[in-house]
Every structure is written in C-alpha cells, then in structure tokens.
Chain A
Amino acid sequence: MWKNYLKVSIRNLQKRKLYTGINLLGLTIAIVSFLAICLYINHEWSYDKMYADYNRIYRLNQEFRSEGEAQLVSSTPSSLIPTLIDEVPEVETGTLIFDLSIFSTVMVDAGQGNQEEKKFAYADENFFNVFDFNLLSGDPKKALSEPNQIVLTQTTAERYFGNAASATGKSIKIDSKEYEVTGVVEDFPSNSHIDFDFLGSFKTHRHGTSPEWSPSNYYTYVKLKSGSDPQIFEGKLEQIVDKYLGKDLAEYGYETAFFIQPVTQIHLGDQTLGSIKPGADIRYIYIFGIVALLLIAIGIINYVNLATAEATERNKEVGLRKAMGAGRGQLFGQFVSESMLLTLASTLLSILVLYLVSVKFSSLSGVPLDLSLVFSPLGITLLIAFIVLIGVLAGLYPSLILSSMEPIKALANKTKMGGGAWVRKSLVVFQFFVSMGLLISTFVVKSQLDYMKEVNLGYDKEHLVSLSYHYNMRNGIESIKNEMLRSGGASAIARAADMPIHIKAGYRVFPGGDNQREFMITGYSVDKDIIQTIDLELLAGSSFSETDINRQDLEDANQRFPVIINESSAKEMGWTAEEAVGKIINIGFNQNSEIKGVVKDFYFNSLHHQVGPLVIFNDPDQSNVLLVKLPAGDPAAHLASLENVWKEMVPERPFNPVFVDQAYNQMYSSEQKAGWIFGLFSGIAIFIACMGLFGLVSYVALRRTREISIRKVLGATQGNVVSVLAADFLKLLGFSAVMAIGFGIWFSNNWLQDFANQTKPSVWPYLIAIGLVFILAIATIAYRSWKVYSLNPAKTLKSD
C-alpha cells in the first residue's frame, strides 16, 4: 500500500512541475530559515551548560542603594570569595575573575616583540574547579596557584609558540612583566560567557594576596555544595555585608546587597549588569522564535492553499478511487504521503542549503551555527518528527477536502470548491499579514537606526579618531600631542577618559557651596582642549584655559577647581546656564568646584538613555584615549602622518586608530542585527507569499481560462483581464494591510519604548511596506494573467 502511495505521489509531483516547484521552493526556503533560527536560538539557550555542575554555579552580583536610587552591577570586591569560602558552609568552592579588558589592553611579548591584546584576565587558583574546562597541558590545580603564572587558550598558544604542546613552561611578557606558561586550555566554547585569550594568576595582582572590600572590580562565582538551597545561601550574604561592610557603608549613606544569578542565566539575563561577554536580549530570542514559526506557517500555508486549489483538478481521480472502494483513511494516507514526500525532499534540500549559507549567516548574526546538531540522534529524531508533523499539517486540510467529496459530483467535475474558498482566503490574508507586518517592523527598526545615525549628537563625531594609549605613556603624551599637531595630521587633540559616545564614570554631587541638591552625575575626565576638539557648544561661561589647575595638582579637597557642566546639570540644580557660571558645587573629591562654563546637552551615552547631568573636569591622568580631530581632506593621508609620529615616539606600541562615528554605530549592533534579521526574513516571507499567490492565481486563471477567452473575444484588454483576476486578491490584501498596520503600531510602540530618544512616528514605514507588497502582488497576478490572455481563444474555447 505504502509503496503504491509513494509511487503515485512521485508521479503526481513529477507531472505538476509548476505546482511541485513552487511548493518545494517555498517549503525549502521556509525550512532553511526555520532551521537557521532554531540553531541560532539553541546556541543562545545553550550558554554555560557545559560545566559539570552548571546548575550549582552562581555569579554574585551587587546592588548599591542610596536614597531610593538603586544600581545593579555584576562586579564585586576581591574579599568576597575568600570570605565566602571560609565562612559559608554551603559554598563548595568559588573563583574570582578580574577582566582587565574593561580597563585597558595589554602588551604581550613572547620574544617576537610587543603585540596589543585585549582578552586578558586574572583568575584565581579555583578557576578550573568551578569551570571544568579541559586543559591540554598543565595541572588544573596548580596552573593558577602562584604569582606570575599564565594559562593560554589553544589558539593563543599556537599563535605565540607555534603549537599548544610546546607552550607550557615557556615564558611570556605581559606589560613587561614576566609570566610562566603553566597550562594550555582548549579554546573556550562559543556558548560559554567566559571568553579570554590569556588567564593570568590572580596572585600576580595586588589584591590577589591581600584582598580588600573595595574596589568592586571583580567577577565572583560560587559553586554551592550539592543539595544546598541557594535561597538560604543568598540569605547568608546579608550577614556578610553587615559583618564586613556595614560600618563603612553607613558612613557614606550607601547600602549594598549581594544577590546570586545562576551561571546559565548570565547570557540572556539582565544586560545592564554587565558581563565578560556581551549577552543577548531575550526578547529578541522570543521575537526570532516567533518569526521562525511564522515563516514555517507561511510555507505550510502555501502548500495547503495550492493543494486545495489543485483539488479541483484532482477531484476526478478522487471520485474514481472512491468508486473503486477507497476508504477515507486510504485517500487521506495517499495525500498525506504526498505532502510528506514533498516535506522530506524540502528538508533534505534545506540541509544542503543550510550548509551553503551557514558561514554567511554566522558572520552576519555573530553566532556560529552548529550544523552537526542536525545529525545528532536528537536532531534526526526531531527532524523526522518535524517532517511528519509538517507533512500531516500540510496534507490534512487538502486531503479532508478531497476525501469528503461525493464521488458522483467529483467524477462529473461538478464540485465547486466553495467550501474551502474562505479557508483559502483567510490563509492568504494571514500570509500577507505576516509579510507586511514583518516588512513594517523592518522599516520601523530601520527608521530608528537612521535616526540614530543622523541625529545631532551635540558634538562633531565626523573625522574624529580615538587613539588609546597606556597609562604608563602619560608622561610623554603631551609631546606626542604636540608632534601630531605639528605634523598637520590633526587640527585639534584632546586627552579624554573615553570616546564621547559612552562616558561611564559615575560621581555624586553633594549639597554644599551654592547647591542644595544631591544627585548622581556622570563625570568626564579630559584635558583642556576637549571643547574645541569635539566641538561642544558653550552656552555660557568659557572653556578651560592653560592656567586651569589639573585634578592631580589639587593640594586638598577645598582648593578651587574649575569644571564645566552641561545644561541638564544646571537644570538639576535649578539654575539657567547664565546663572550657573561662577557657582560653587561639591563633587565629592572636590568640595569647591567652580562652574566655569555650561555646554549645551550632548548625547554622551547610547540613545536608549536620556541625557543626564554631566560634569567635565580637567583630569588628564585619568585619560585613556587621545581624541584627534582630522583636518579637512583625505583622512588616510592624515592618519598616515599621525602614524609616523606615533611610530617614532612609541615604537613599542601599535597604532590603532578608531573612528568615533564607527564606534558609535557599533554601539547599536544588536539593533542593527535585529534590523538585518527582520529585513532578511521579511524578504523571505514576501517571496514565499508571492510564490503562493502566483500558484493560486495560476489555478484561478486556469479555471477561468474559458471566461477570460470569452472576455477577450468580446474585446477585453489585457488590463481588463488583470483587473478581473486581481480584484478578488487585492481585497484580501486589503484585509492583510489593515491587520498589518495594527501590528506595526503595536510593534513600534513596544520596540521604540526602549529608546529614550525616538524617531518621530511616521506613516512612511507603513506606506512603503504595504505599497511594496501590493506592487509585488499585482506584478505576480499581472504576469500570470498575461499568460492566460495571450492564449488563442479559438483553441481554448473549442476544447470546452
């Protein structure tokens, strides 16, 4: 029986090439997208589950509270983990990681000269007890137990020593300090949040031998004893805070609390906490999941639509089989086996296509697709279940329609597919609703991205280059600045803590001087030239001058210290820009800060946030970067002359210029990724839907060939014919458009909510998306009806 089903199915599919082609292509594209997204989501879900006791590993996070304001961070003091191991019985072991890359890069020299490296961290001796990564060489217990030891990843070891085996025991210089390579660890998996090239022993660091309760710069992880209740453990953290931190905190008016976070939830958890590796927004995971299901739905709908439309052609066969005694189940079996066969073919094809596109997809999405999962026992089981499910889903409705036809009517070709028409129509409406909805979302995302690119940030990020330098270069940096200015490669240069795109340092304004308010303020450590270099607009007062004192030259906290604030700060203190100039405020480390100037608000953080109070002060020693304004003309030439100066003056460090506007765009990479994925998949959805429409119009046109021929004989133009065929479908698209607009409004309200600074809502995304889909749909219909129109009526009418 099944052999027969199979044979008939194959012949049927072979005979109807257009139909098979459309279904195969539609399903294949849908399945490729579906599988790709599934693998992507699976990768994101699988984070940090490779450690033996992953469900007992927690990261400790910290909450700072003062006067109702709370700040959550993932960094903790260095004393925390030794204390916990000593005093809390639930703790089996725990480790500390100090990620240096947040602060600076390191210079690595293994005998071939200095190379700049970013992914360096210190970890304590328990690191491999908590995270049981496989060491290719070295003893996990001893590899990080003494000062000046270092563990390299396999790739890093190969990069510096040719092969992993020979690295152990060699020495390597990090920032001129000598380390012994005590182990080589397998590269950290892409789905681990731990991601370093170098792990130095924490004992090398000052706090490694004498831990302290301040500063909070370190990630702390604990592994609890099996069977112990994490809630109880978390409760005990409060006692630790009281015992060791209570007094100090009360003095400063702070409160702090530690709380735990399962290691598996770091990647998709609260992103504001910060982590070694940037995580992912779980909402995007959900959205992509929904998109995957929608795409599969569109693919199935195509099949259902075409198969039911086609049923009108097959009712003779069905009637006949019934007359010969076929039961409903047997007919059902035949149609379902046909759809399963098609699904199977599409799935196989999809896997092939997936192989071809996976590299591209991985590089665009930033997530490697592990295709071997497809062929794991679980993958194959799921795939088979998937084929059966899709096969049955896609075959169910058409076979129900077909097998319920009365044989006599079917044989006489009298069956009107009236019953199925509304189902088919609603399916078309759904398909185009999804296509339009996705496209509208794409345009909403794109308009916000464009807005962010083009919005006036309040400073000039064009032709602005950032050169990071090392703390120990601070003495020579003024002469480098001067040389660069003299070379003509720069029109202005300032030292600054960071690029103006994200200024992070948090300070506090206390009551005192002329101000009565206490509030949080962001501090920007710079040198005197910042205002001209990034072109900030002064509203009142003046810029820093040569004679203004630097922070490190202050003799005591009461010495007068000139600062510049932004408009928001002035507003926070209840002053206009003009009033603020000359006022004295207390910014913690200096109680006698005199406001020298007020600049117009500029965006010093991502546009997710509102512009808050900012204070700019003269503190070049806290600076990490040179901001260089390039003169007009060819940037490459200017960069070349800057590089010459750099090479001459700091030959041991590489010259790595970063364009500020590019770094700015980089900040929105997750939004860009979302925009890109929306764009791609809405394109795919539209393509599949249009193919389905093409198939459907083909059948309608075929059924109405006679009518169209008569119309032609009576003098209908091609336009008339198109409009006859298009009218019905355009009505359906109209419905889809209404629903899609509703969805788009909901989506843009929700998605844009995340941005404190939003693009103005506009009708354009809706108009363009819907217009585009309509044009494509009409083109599809027009092409199909042109083919019918071009038939010779004499022939088509004779056969009737």
Chain B
Amino acid sequence: MIQLKEIDKFIESRFQRIFILKGINLTINEGEFVTLMGPSGAGKSTLLNILGLLDEDYSGEYWFGDKNITKMRDRERSSLHKSEFGYIFQAYHLIDELTVYENIETPLLYRNVSSNERKSIIADLLDRFNMVAKKDLFPAQLSGGQQQLVGIARAIAGKPRILLADEPTGNLHSGQAKEIMEVFQELHKEGTTIVQATHARENADYGTRLIQMLDGKIDQDEVITHV
C-alpha cells in the first residue's frame, strides 16, 4: 500500500547538512498496525508527517499504491489526503471553540458530506465511544483521555484507510492509555491500517510490527507475534 524509497530529509545549516531522516526504505501493507519507536530526535514524528502528506519537503520517492505521490499535483495530493488519512495528536489538538460534536463534524464538513449523513456518522461515533452525553461540551470540560477519544473519533469520522497517531497516549495516565490502545486494536481488527509513534513499549504490543528508529534511520524492523 505504501512504499518509501530512499527518503532523505535534512536541514541545511551554515556549515553542514543535518539529516533528520536518511535513506529510509519502508513498505507498509494494507491492514498492518505499525509502531514506530525510538529516542527523541530519532525521526519518528518526521517520518509520520511525511507518511501523512503533512510534510512535502524531502527527497526520495513515496508511492501510494501505484501512484507516485512526489510527482502528484497539489490538487490530487490534497484529495488523496482527505480521503485516505486520519490523524491523532499527542496534545489532542481539538479546536477549543467547538463542542465535541462539532469537532468530530469538522473533517466531514471539509469532505462535503451531507448533513443527514454527518448526523448519522457522528451519532454512531458518539455511541461507540460512550460520549453521547458529552456531545455539547467543549474540550476544556473533558479529561485528557476523553479529549483523545474525541480526537480519535474525529480522525476516523471520514473513514480513512490509514490512521496516523503521534504519541497518542503521551499525555495520558496508564489507565486512559490502555483504553485508547484498545480502541486502536479494535479499529485495526476492522481493517484500518495504523501507524503510531510512541515511547511506550507496551503500546507496541497492540500492533503487528515494530520499527525501531535511531538517528534518522531504521534500526530494527520486527514482527510482533501475539501469543
């Protein structure tokens, strides 16, 4: 599904190039649940952003299915971005001025989903995450775990094939983290491809593949087997 060939990303400083990513070759198949691990600065987030089409400033080739993304026009890339990807952030990044309901609705608005369809999609999601009673609350009125659930609901509202999560549990305590991870596992079972970056080894156990990164390179790539 996704194939990265010789991806380099660097910052040009006055005296030298500082590589953030160097020579990344990576293939991710449909239905995988990939965990990126590694110390801070290893390039996890950068890789995730490149995968998610949020960062276009790199060299190398990015193939999505049989399409070369690096050669795509903006319009195509943008529509691919809308239809295939969902994002979850460490700091939740909910829009403070919008209620739970409206936050989940936002990506649907940008996809021109009709009003009735929006209502039913959001109703399903609220139901699924047990948040029906909280739909009119603002993010500030929710706990961190609840906010992240809204973040997930928002990310999957547009029915993306790939879910990208950058430290989704980084700001949560372990109980909440576990809950989030279980949601991920469930989504994975339903067929969504997931790529997450994390510091926590136990989160990787929910996935199917663990990639260890170090200094902008892939250090280890192993399959997680569930006993």
Residues of A near any B CB (own CB < 8 A): 1, 4, 7-8, 11-12, 15, 316-317, 320-321, 323-327, 330, 407-408, 411
Contacts and interface: CB of A to CB of B under 8 A. Distances in A.
Interface string B62-83: 0000000000000000100110
A323 B54 contact: yes
Given A317-B95, A320-B95, A4 B109 contact: yes
B154 A324 contact: yes
Given A323-B87, A325-B82, A1 B109 contact: yes
A326 B93 contact: no
Contacts of A11: 97-98
Contacts of B107: 324-325
Contacts of B81: 325
A4 B154 contact: no
A408 B106 CA distance: 19
A577 to B, nearest CB: 84
A434 B226 CA distance: 73
A236 B110 CA distance: 73
Contact of B106 (A15, A316, A321, A407): A321
Nearest to B95: A317
B158 interface: yes
Contacts of A320: 93, 95
Interface in B80-103: 81-82, 87, 89, 93, 95-98, 102
A325 B102 contact: no
Most chain B beta carbons < 10 A, residue from A323, A325, A326: A325
Contacts of B105: 4
A316 B93 CA distance: 8
B111 A325 contact: yes
B30 interface: no
Contacts of B111: 325
The 7 closest A-B pairs by CB, nearest first: A325-B82, A11-B97, A324-B107, A325-B110, A326-B110, A320-B93, A323-B87
Nearest to A320: B93
Interface residues of B, number: 23
Contacts of B87: 323-324
B164 to A, nearest CB: 10
Contact of B93 (A1, A325, A411): A411
Given A1-B109, A7-B102, A320-B95, 5 more contacts: A8-B98, A15-B96, A317-B97, A321-B106, A327-B78
A219 B96 CA distance: 73
B186 interface: no
A415 to B, nearest CB: 14
Nearest to B92: A320
Contacts of B95: 8, 317, 320-321
A369 to B, nearest CB: 40
B49 interface: yes
A316 B81 CA distance: 19
9 contacts: A4-B102, A4-B106, A8-B98, A320-B95, A323-B54, A324-B107, A325-B78, A325-B158, A407-B54
Nearest to A411: B93
Nearest to A319: B93
B136 interface: no
A578 to B, nearest CB: 89
A246 B154 CA distance: 95
B179 interface: no
Contacts of B78: 325, 327
A249 B222 CA distance: 117
B89 A411 contact: yes
A4 B55 CA distance: 28
B52 to A, nearest CB: 8
Contacts of B106: 4, 321, 324
B97 A330 contact: no
Contacts of B98: 8, 11
A85 B49 CA distance: 89
Contact of A8 (B49, B52, B82, B97): B97
A588 to B, nearest CB: 86
Contacts of A317: 95-97
Contacts of A408: 49, 54-55
Contacts of A8: 95, 97-98
Nearest to A4: B109
B11 to A, nearest CB: 13
A323 B52 CA distance: 9
Contacts of A326: 110
Nearest to A331: B110
Nearest to B106: A324
Interface string B39-63: 0000000000100101100000000
A8 B97 CA distance: 7
A8 B96 CA distance: 10
Contacts of B102: 4, 7
Contact of A330 (B49, B52, B93, B110): B110
Nearest to B87: A323
B32 to A, nearest CB: 22
Contacts of A321: 95, 106, 110
A499 to B, nearest CB: 69
A4 B109 CA distance: 9
A326 B110 CA distance: 5
B9 to A, nearest CB: 12
Interface in B111-158: 111, 154, 158
A695 B119 CA distance: 40
A324 B52 CA distance: 11
Interface in B157-209: 158
A763 B52 CA distance: 64
B97 A15 contact: yes
B46 to A, nearest CB: 9
Nearest to B166: A411
Nearest to B157: A324
A1 to B, nearest CB: 6
A326 B108 CA distance: 10
Contacts of B55: 408
